[in-house]
């Protein structure tokens, strides 16, 4: 599935991923390939991006505003304050703050 994370300042992440876990209003949830279409509001928390390999870890850090960390070589974490998510046709767009 393709993931794009966007802020008012820039596109932070844009790549194919294996899965994504997000902090939804009613709790964290994960999306895999071929997930049903969904729109959700996101709360403060951590987005976990499961990537194919370290080559896919292209992440733009905007002056330390958003925190990034690599956990087990294939998981990228991103702290957000809030946001909105839309998934349709294996494309996830996260508008993050």
**Local confidence pLDDT in tens for the 97 residues of the chain:** 999 999 998 888 899 999 999 999 999 999 999 999 999 999 999 999 998 765 544 455 544 444 454 556 678 889 999 999 999 999 999 999 9
Give me the pLDDT at residue 68, please.
52
CB 22 within 8 A of CB 95: no
- Residue 63 phi/psi, 5-degree rounding, is 55, 35
54 phi, psi to nearest 5 deg: -65, -20
Domains with residue ranges and CATH for the chain:
2-96 (2.60.15.10)
Q: What is the pLDDT of residue 76?
A: 86
Beta bridge partners of residue 48, listed in sequence order? 21, 77
What's the pTM value of the predicted model, to 2 decimals?
A: 0.82
């Amino acid at each position: 599935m393709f993931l794009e994370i966007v802020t008012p300042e820039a596109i932070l992440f844009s790549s194919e991923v294996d899965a994504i876990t997000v902090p939804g209003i009613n709790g964290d949830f994960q999306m895999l390939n071929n997930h049903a279409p969904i729109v959700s509001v996101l709360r403060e928390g951590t987005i976990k991006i499961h990537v194919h390999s370290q080559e896919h870890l292209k992440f733009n850090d905007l002056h330390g505003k958003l925190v990034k960390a690599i956990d087990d070589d294939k998981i990228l974490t991103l702290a957000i304050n809030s946001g909105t998510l839309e998934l349709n046709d294996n494309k996830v767009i996260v508008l993050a703050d």
